[in-house]
Structures are given as C-alpha cells and as structure tokens.
Amino acid sequence: MNQKLRNMNKGIDRTSSHTIKWRNFLFFTITFAVSIIGVPIYIYAHGITAADVILFGFWSTVTGLAITVGYHRLLAHRAFKAHPFLVFLSLFFGAAAFEESALQWTSQHRDHHKYVDTDRDPYNIKQGFFYAHIGWILFHNHPIDYENVKDLQRNKFIMHQHQNYVPWAVTAGILLPLLTGILWSNWLSALLISVFARLTFVHHGTFFINSVCHYFGKPTYDIQSSAKDHWLVAFITNGEGYHSFHHRFPSDYRNGHKWYHWDPSKWVIALMDRVGLIWDLKRVSKFQILAARITAERAIVESYLNCHSHTVRVAALENLKVRYEQLKQVLYAWELHVKEYAVLCREAQAKSELVKSALKRAHDARRTFLQMRAQWGRLIEKPAIVFSFDFA
C-alpha cells in the first residue's frame, strides 16, 4: 500500500507546504508552453483542417462537461442522481481533463464551499488572483481531508479511478484523442490540438472560475462571499460562471437559473433527465432566489451608504429597511398564494370556482410584487437612495 493510500485511509493527505509541486509545475508549464508556442507554429506551417477543429471541439466539450456535470454538480454537490453508466462516463472523461481524480477534486471543492475565503479554502482568493487561479496547484500546501467524501468512497468506479488515476487519465486524455486524430486527421495535429491546446483551454477555463469569478463580476445573490457572477466565464465553462448563484445555492443543478442563462451543463442534465438517465434534480424555488437577490441588493446599498454622512446614512438605512420588509412580505404573500393554488389543483374534488379564485389571487400577488420590485429597483439606484427619502 503506497503512502497516498495510507494517508487516505487516515482521512487526510498532508503535502509539505510552500514547496514547488514538480509534477504539476512541469505538467502545466509544458502544456501551456506547447499550446501558445508549438500550436501556432504548427498551424502556420501546416494549416488546420476541419477535422482538427471538430476534434478540438469534441474533446473540449466532453471533458469540460465531465468536469461540470460529472465531477462538480453530480459528485461534489449531489445535485441529482445518475445512472451508473453516466457516473462512469464522468469519471472516464473527467480523468481526460487532467484535473486529478474525482475523489480529490470533490474533497477540495467541498472544502472550497465550506471554508470559502478562509485559510482552509484550497483556492482561497484572499491569497491573491494568481494563487486562486493556479498557484495553489503549483505550490500546493493545503491538506486534503478525505473525511468529507465518505459517500463517494463507497463507489467502486470512483475508487478505481482514484487509485489508478494516471492510467485512466493517459488512456482517456492522451491515447484516445491521439487515436481519433490518427483515424481522422494525423497524430501530430491530434497531439498538439486535441491534447495540448484542449487541455490548456479546459484547465484555464476551470481555473477562471476560482480566480475571475471570485474577483470580478457581480455578487448578485450574496455579498458575504467573494463569489461573483461573470457571463464571460459562463460562456467558456459550460455555464459555471454564475458563481454567486452557485455559492448561494450549491445543490441546485443549475448555475444559470434563468432559461436564457448560458448554461449548457444544465441543459445536458435536463436532457438526460428526459431520457431517464438522470433523476431527482434539485432546484430551489424562484421565491428563494428572489429573496436572496433582494437581500444582496439591500446589503450592497448599505455598504455604499457607509461612505455618506451620518445623517444621510441613518435616514436612508431606515427607508431601505422599511421598503425591504414590505417587499419581502409581498414576496411571501405571492409564494403562499401560489402554494395554495397548487394544493387546490392537486385536489380532485376542488371546485373550479375555488381554483379560479386561487389562481386570480396568485396573479394579483405576482403583479403587486412586480410593481413593488420596480419601485425597489428605482430606490436602490445609488443617487436615489440618498435623495429619495420621501419615496412612496
């Protein structure tokens, strides 16, 4: 039994601190250098074929989705249940992304959520943008506590992938892309584009979530955490850039909760749900989302008011508090009416007039909420909150 397994059975893997992790350092330096130097030289000298582009798209997409849908939403957050075959695919193509075993990835990610912005957060943004992006991987000094992934240790596929990570990763992430390249294009373009360039693209997309989404963007649903929503990161990571939402509601299978939010991972999950390979999808209600958003908006305005004089601040805070409580009450009333309507709809013997009047109350409550929400939106504009104390 090797040292890693012995440590794992003790529940913890302590790596020496503040030392270069040479395996990671060489791997990430070489893949990055080949991608930004070797790949352009190759394309300049030999051109690029449609097959190369399609294979790059295919390998980026399947390995990216294995991380977002498989490692992240399925294994780390248990946002839904999946057929064992899908779990296997997640492990296989997840290994191809070269982001460590699912067990290690999940353990560190659960710590990230639990201890975000503290020293126990493996990719703590408080230690700087570079550290959160890749420094923690190159100069890793965070202990891995496998106690938080006991649930996954019962799965034999997950344990096999963890204990044989390198063969899994090399087979799925290097040999298979090379084979598809040899069959359709040539081995050199496959090595450079489907392996090196694809690895760099998927790696840094994932890393942007830990760096950019904890540094830039909007704290739409919670200002207590550094997590923020950033549309550009969502675009390149199959929808993972809605990070403020994700930190506020980590068990939701969606990261972009609105239908038009760019979140291919949630669309894949919904499709798999339709065909029966995925079930028990977790999602929070729109009322919980609206409540979180209103609370975050209030907190943002409160922090803005701190830079104003005492008199202005006290008056504006009081005004804000009153409007906030009113808005929450209207939201709560809307939710109650919707629930009441849903209960009546389920009761076969409910009279149609009762159902109709419940529906009307729900509609009216929604309209009232939207009106007050619009007023609230005008109030919390920065100049308005200072000057509109007589807001009605």
Residues of this chain that interact with Zn ion (CB under 5 A) are 227
State the number of CA atoms in the 13 A half-sphere of 154 facing the CB.
5
Handedness of CA 347, 348, 354, 359 (dihedral sign): positive
Q: What are the residues whose beta carbons fall under 8 Å from the beta carbon of 244, sequence distance 6 or more?
A: 217, 218, 219, 220, 221, 222, 225, 227, 228, 229, 296
* Of residues 320, 314, 327, 306, the one with CA closest to residue 373: 327
Task: Tell me if 217 sits within 8 A of 247, measured CB to CB.
Answer: no
Least Å distance between CB 112 and Zn ion?
6
CB 83 to Zn ion: min, Å: 22
Residues 291, 331: contact at Cβ < 8 Å? yes
Least Å from the CB of residue 262 to Zn ion: 18
Measure the CA angle with vertex 296, ends 295 and 300; round to 5°: 120
Give the Cα separation of 8 and 14 in Å (integer).
Answer: 10
- Phi then psi for residue 245, to 5 deg, are -60, -45
CB 17 within 8 A of CB 139: no
Rounded distance between C-alpha atoms, residue 360 and residue 363, angstroms: 5
Which residue has the closest beta carbon to Zn ion?
227
Cα separation, 324 vs 321, in Å, equals 5
Cβ proximity to Zn ion: between 193 and 227 the closer is 227
Closest alpha carbon to 213 in 262, 297, 289, 205: 205
Q: How far is the CB of 194 from Zn ion (least distance, A)?
A: 28
CB of 100 to Zn ion, least distance (A): 15
Cβ proximity to Zn ion, 72 vs 140, nearer residue: 72
Residue closer to Zn ion by CB (options 177, 239) is 239
Residue closer to Zn ion by CB (options 229, 335) is: 229
Residue with Cβ nearer Zn ion (227 or 380): 227
Place of tokens 């909150």: 385
Q: Which residues are within 8 A (CB) of 38 and not within 5 positions of it... i.e. 6 or more apart? A: 192, 196
Residue 257 or 337 with smaller CB distance to Zn ion: 257
Smallest distance, Å, CB 240 to Zn ion? 8
Residue closer to Zn ion by CB (options 27, 215) is: 215
Residue 123 CB, nearest distance to Zn ion (Å)? 8
Q: Which is nearer to Zn ion, 67 or 331 (CB)?
A: 67
| CB 212, min distance to Zn ion, A | 11
